[in-house]
Every structure is written in C-alpha cells, then in structure tokens.
Amino acid sequence: MDLVFFAQDCINGVLMGLIYGLVALGLTLIFGVLKVINFAHGSFIMVGMYVSYWAVTLTGLHPYLALGIIVPAMFLFGYWIQNLLIRPIFIAERDVREPITVIVVTTGMWYVLDNLALLVFGPDYRALSPNPLKGQMLNFGEIFISVPKLYGAAAAVATAGLLFWFLQKTRMGRAIRATSLDRDAASLMGINQWKIFNIAMGIGTAVAGVAGAVLTPFYNVYPTVGIPFDVKSFVIVVLGGLGSIWGALVGGVIIGLVESIGPIFMTSTWTEAIVYGLFLLVLFVKPSGLFGQKHDW
Amino acid sequence: MKRIQLLALSLAMSLMLTSLAFAGPTVKIGNILPLSGPSASVGQQGKQAREMAIEEINAAGGIKSLGGAKIEMLYADSKSDPNVGVTAAERFINTEKVNVITGAWNSGVTYPSTAVAERYGVPYIVPVSVRDTITERGFKNVFRIAAKDSWWARDQFTFLKDMEKETGEKLSTVAFVYENGDWGTGFVTQWKKLVENSGYKVVLDEPYPSTATDLTPVVNKIRRARPDVLMLVSNAADAILLTNTLADYKVSPKVIIGSGGGHADPTFISGCGENARYVFDIVEWETDVNKAGAKEVNEAYKKRYGSNLTGEAVDAYLAMYVLADALERAGSLDPAAIRKALSKTDYTSGRGMIATYDSVQFDATGQNKNAAMSVVQINDIGKGLERITVWPKPARRAGYTPVFPMPKK
C-alpha cells in the first residue's frame, strides 16, 4: 500500500517537475543568449496564461490546438519588448556585456505587467472554459495520473527537444549561439545582433506562452499567478545551470520530486526549506549548476 | 429694509421649528468607525446599517419611556488608527457628552477606545470586533453583540456534533489542513484545543504554503489518512486548487468544511464549479437566512444603499435595536441605568433580530453569550451553485435538507 502511494508521488513529482522545467525554460534561454536576468519571467508566464485563457475562451479550441495562436502572439510580444524596452539599454551601455540596468528594467516590467493585468482583468481567479482536460485522470488501481499534467510533461520534453534542435542545427540557431558567445565577433561575421536579440527574446517568451497553455488546464489564472512560478524558475535555472536547456528540465524534475515525495516524511511546508537549501548548496558547491558551463565564455 | 425683516422673521421661525422638533430629550450616540482608509468599506456598511435602524426607531416614535426621545447619531472616522479612535472616544465623552458609544470594527481600535469608555463609565456597544480579549478584561461597560474570534472554531465543532445528532451519521476522524500563515496557524491552535474534548481523532495535521503551485502531495496525504472530516483554512487560490485536486483524486471525506477566507471568496464557486458542491463553510451571515424579517430588512437596505446586507451591517443594525430596547427599559439617560438595562438585555424578537442566532443576552463579561456563526453548504438546487444556510437549524433555509455526509466520488 505504501509503495503504491510512493509510486503515486513519484509519478506526480516527475510530471510536475517537467512542467516546472518548461516554465523555467524561457528564463534559461533568455539568460543564455542575452545575458539578461529577466525578473519579469513570472509575469511572462502570467501573460502566457492569460493569452491561453482568452485564446481558448474566445475560439473554443482545445488548449493544445490554441498553441497555434498562443505561440506567435507571445513571440511577437517578446520581440516587441526586447526591441522597445531592452535594446535601448544595450545601446546605451554598449561596452558592458551584462548591463545591470536591465535588471531594473525587467523588475519594472514585472510590476507594470502584473498591475496592468489587475487593472484590465480584475483580481478574479479564472478557470479555463471550455476545458476538455479538466479533472481527467488515468486510473491504474490506486494510482492516479493526471491527464493535463501528462500532456504538460510531454509538451515540456517536446519543447526542449525542438529548442535544442533549433539551436544546434539551424542557421538561425547557430547565429543565436554565436551572438551569445561573443556579440562583437558575431557582428563582425555579419550577424545582425539586434535582430538576433529580438528573436531570442521572442523565442523565450513564446516558450513562456507554451508553459501558460500547459498550466491553464489545471491551474487558475489570476494577475499575480506568475510570482510563485518566478521564484521556482530561478531556483530551477540555478540548479540546472544557467543557459542549459536540459539542465532546466533536470532541475525541474529534482524540485518536483522533492516537493512530491518530501511530504511523505514531513509537513509540506518543510519541502520548501529543502528546495531552498538545495539551491544554496548548489551555489556553494557547484555555482555553475548541474549542467552549466564551468567557465564563462 | 423689508428684506432684512423678512429674513429675520424666517430665521426666527425656523429657530422655533427646530426647537419644537427637539422638544423632548435626545439620546446622543457616538459612533467610532473606519470611514476612510483600508477598512472604509466595512466602516461605511456599519454606518449605513446604523442610520437605517435609527431612522426606523425614530420614525416609530423614538424612546417612549423617555417621552418619545429621538436618537441623534454622531460619527467619528477612526481611519483604522487606534490613536484616532481613543481621541474620538475622549471627545465624544467630554465635549459631545454622548450617552452611549458604539464601534469600532477594527479590534485594534476597539480595544483601547473601550478602555476610555470604561474609565468614564459610559456604556460602549461593540457590534463586531473579533479579538477575544476585548470582553476579557473585567470591564463593566463594554457589550459585544457578535461572536468572538475563538467561537468560529468552536462553532465548526458544534456544527459537526449537531449534524451527527440530526443525521445519525457517525464521525470519528478529522484532518486539519491549513495555510501556514498567521491566520491558518491561529485557527488550528483553537481546533487542537477543541478536538481534545470532542471525541474525534486527529489523523492529519498538515500546514501548506499558500503560494504552493501544486497541492497534489497534500491531497495524497489526505487520501492516505482517510479522515471522516476535512477541516480547511485556505486563501483564495489555494482553496480552489485544493478543492479541484481533491476531486481529481476522488478523495471524498464525509464532510469538508472551510473557515471563510478563500472558501467565502466569490470566485471560489466559479473556479471550482461542480467540485465545490457539498462543501461547507462557516460565515457570519448569508442573505438567505431563515429569520422573520430578514428578507424585508435586506430589501430595505438594498433599496437604500444598492447592496445586500453583510455580516458587519447585520451586527450594526441589531446593535441599534438592542440599544433602543435597553434605553426603553432604562427610562433614564443616567449611564449607570443604561448600563444596568444593557446587562439585563434579553432581545429575542423584533425588527433587529435578523442575525442567525436566537437572542442577545450578555454574560458577566459583556459578551453576547448567544452569538454564533452560521454554516452554509454549497449546492445546486435548481438555480446554479449557491451558498445555502444550513446551521444553526432554526436559521436554515426553508425546505433545504443538508447533504450530510457528502456522497462518495
């Protein structure tokens, strides 16, 4: 009996962990390429969730089919933000590779986006409707597997795989990696670094949109929904290694398992302490994270 | 010249009229309320309910034993600030010479301002301020109408016991699951005290962070513990997430009861849909309460102010009638006489008695010993999911039978 519950918690931990990984993926990508620490990441997730919510509510599409609307919309949103808000700072601080001012700007974006959502959508907790995945469970005796989370975990792996292939194999992906290694050298090779930045930010935001679409079928949407995910994303990204795609997924799964299995042995408030303890431990022992590059480029 | 004469004449006439209208003695009531600042909306509700009650009392002939004395209301804005509240109490007593003070909603304001009234021996009626200690200082002039903080937890257990008796369903195990903030942990301290003498066995005591992104692990623990009763203290987002996850995993204890907060949030029902069905929640007052006159008073209030009565408004409204009743019996404006009449209050019927409990009687500490919360059940009886008053039984919505225990999923 106990083993059944253990298995149950493990399955939930892995599924939820992969989804956490997907949530953190946009953050790690934006850091990896732009060297921008995006404090507004949670708000991007929130925007992604509202975009998914409205895309599904207005069209009546299946939430995963609505990705066809969500991904381009979020890509444009990220592209526009980079072009209008972050690029001027890169231009102003041309000699600095990681302009600190950007942190202030992304923090500002976080507040503006969250409060804008509050102003426009109100403080209500919205549930997706129509929601064909709502409450769907696979049932194996005593073991329940949540279908929306299963879909979400699959989407996480697929997104990570696609992103990996894109960065490794396509011409644009190579240009993005070149820019992330050395902006000036890339520019000398004829790469338009501003365009690459815009695109990289667009992709990172689009991934946040995918995360939003994955979350809405089993999570309510409200203006500050990004905050708990924001904190979690930072822990995951540091754990897995800043800029590493697979690191984000592995970091996510570790957190998911701690959160899920931990409560068997203690009250669930303590699992948070373990998560943050792990975070500190990684910073002390292996600051580059599990899959991060040891040396700065 | 003529115009000045006319003016003087009309002035004299109007003066005469006013003095005629105030021929009998007037009773002055000083009200301290948060009319601005963070608690302004409840403060306004309290003011509106008071004004409506006093207008009704005055229109019905005022206080007859005082020769038809009219009640005059004075208001002071506490801004939810204890210091402002204390100054207001001093001013009411020394400058305005009020006969009675009422207030002050914020426990933080009520606590020191009642001490001022006690010092001068002026009766102070507290319609609603929940902090327990307000009536636990041996004061003689403080009278509280509404239930105190610890009675929320007390009434959850009383409700369970009453329902066991009513339905014959036996409950033996309880699980406490609560947000790990001040509010949740404070509530659970009360539960733990109460559960000792209740005969229930605690099978799970689980705090969780309110910002949790996944409550499946908590739900799995509840599944494992198999409690008969699941008692919850939750904020809005977690109440919805928990209820939905419980339904996903087909966890169905016999009873799920919330503690207001997230379960009382209007978005709880829309966020959970069918999953919220049969959940119980504890509350001060609900518009469907089955009390004589409640509907009429609510209609009158809604017509005047455009919104339904709230728990705060009901307590304030009731407080004015209790006060008028005491003044009637006192037959004097002497503070000691009013105090004595208040302490002998036994207000069981009348237009003001629209609270869920049966009567107002003050114990030696000045607390209304009959005050109680009420319990609602979320159910759909043909008009969509709604909150239906089920307990105390006399206040239950007419024709409704609570679903107890809730059906297995």
pLDDT bucket at B237, cuts 50 / 70 / 90 = confident
Q: Select the residue of B206, B265, B270 nearest A268 (Cβ to Cβ).
A: B206
Nearest to A228 by CA among A11, A50, A54, A43: A43
How far apart are the C-alpha atoms of A209 and A78, rounded to whole Å? 10
Give me the sign of the Cα torsion angle B394, B396, B402, B404: negative
Q: What does the pLDDT read at residue B20?
A: 46
How far apart are the C-alpha atoms of A255 and B253, rounded to whole Å? 30
The tokens describing A73, both together, are 């919309």
Q: What does the pLDDT read at residue A297?
A: 45
- Between positions 244 and 303 of B, the ones with CB within 8 A of A are 244, 247-250, 265, 267, 270-273, 275
CB within 8 Å of A287: residues ≥ 6 apart: none
Q: Is B208 on the interface with A (CB under 8 A)?
A: yes
For residues B225 and B246, is the Cβ–Cβ distance under 8 A? no
What's the average model confidence in pLDDT over B116-139?
92
- Out of A87-91, B161-165, B193-197, B384-388, pick the least confident: A87-91
Using DSSP's 3-state secondary structure scheme, residue A229 falls into helix
Using DSSP's 3-state secondary structure scheme, residue B340 falls into helix
The domain at B7-147+291-343 falls in which architecture?
3-Layer(aba) Sandwich (3.40)
For chain A, the C-alpha Rg in angstroms (whole number) is 19
CATH topology of domain B150-283+373-395: Rossmann fold (3.40.50)
* pLDDT tens digits along B184-228: 888 899 999 999 888 899 999 999 988 888 899 999 999 989 999
Q: What does the pLDDT read at residue A1?
A: 54
Contacts of B271 in chain A (CB under 8 A): 125-127, 220
pLDDT bucket at B3, cuts 50 / 70 / 90 = low
Q: What does the pLDDT read at residue B19?
A: 46
Interface with A, mutate which of B182, B208, B211, B213 (most A CBs under 10 A): B213
How far apart are the C-alpha atoms of B329 and B49, rounded to whole Å? 23
CB contact (8 A) between residue A12 and residue B206:
no
Same fold: B7-147+291-343 with B150-283+373-395: yes
Percent of chain B with pLDDT over 70: 94
- ipTM of the prediction: 0.85
Q: Is B83 on the interface with A (CB under 8 A)?
A: no
CA closest to A147 among chain B residues: B248
How far apart are the C-alpha atoms of B151 and B104, rounded to whole Å? 20
Q: What does the pLDDT read at residue B132?
A: 87
Q: Which residues pair with B186 in a beta bridge?
A: none
The tokens describing A232, both together, are 């979690």
Nearest to B138 by CA among B121, B124, B122, B118: B118
Nearest to B371 by CA among B402, B392, B344, B399: B392
For residues B150 and B371, is the Cβ–Cβ distance under 8 A? no
pLDDT bucket at B243, cuts 50 / 70 / 90 = very high
CA distances from A157 to A17, A21, A30, A160, A199 (A): 11, 9, 18, 5, 22
Q: Select the residue of B218, B244, B272 nearest A263 (Cβ to Cβ).
A: B218
Nearest to A16 by CA among A227, A201, A262: A262
* pLDDT tens digits along B269-282: 888 888 999 999 99
Q: Output DSSP code: residue A59.
A: H
Give the mean pLDDT of chain B.
89
CB contact (8 A) between residue B273 and residue A127:
yes
For residues A10 and A190, is the Cβ–Cβ distance under 8 A? no
The ranges of chain A with pLDDT < 50 are 297
CB contact (8 A) between residue A268 and residue B207:
yes
CATH topology of domain A2-123+133-285: ABC transporter involved in vitamin B12 uptake, BtuC (1.10.3470)
Q: Is B28 on the interface with A (CB under 8 A)?
A: no
**pLDDT surpassing 90 at residue B53:** yes
For residues B377 and B388, is the Cβ–Cβ distance under 8 A? yes
CA closest to B235 among chain A residues: A125
How far apart are the C-alpha atoms of A2 and B388, rounded to whole Å? 39
How far apart are the C-alpha atoms of B377 and B407, rounded to whole Å? 14
Helix (H) / strand (E) element for A139: namely: strand A137-140
Give the angle B284-B374-B130 at the CA atoms, nearest 5°.
Answer: 40
* pLDDT tens digits along B314-342: 999 999 999 999 999 999 999 999 999 99
Locate the domains of chain B by residue range: 7-147+291-343, 150-283+373-395
**pLDDT surpassing 70 at residue B1:** no
pLDDT bucket at B93, cuts 50 / 70 / 90 = very high
Beta strands (DSSP E) in B196-237 are 201-208, 229-233
As to burial, measured by CB atoms within 10 angstroms (0-12 exposed, 13-18 middle, 19+ buried), residue B5 is: exposed
CA distance B107 to chain A (A): 27
CB contact (8 A) between residue B249 and residue A137:
yes
How far apart are the C-alpha atoms of B312 and B105, rounded to whole Å? 8
Higher pLDDT, A123 or B123: B123
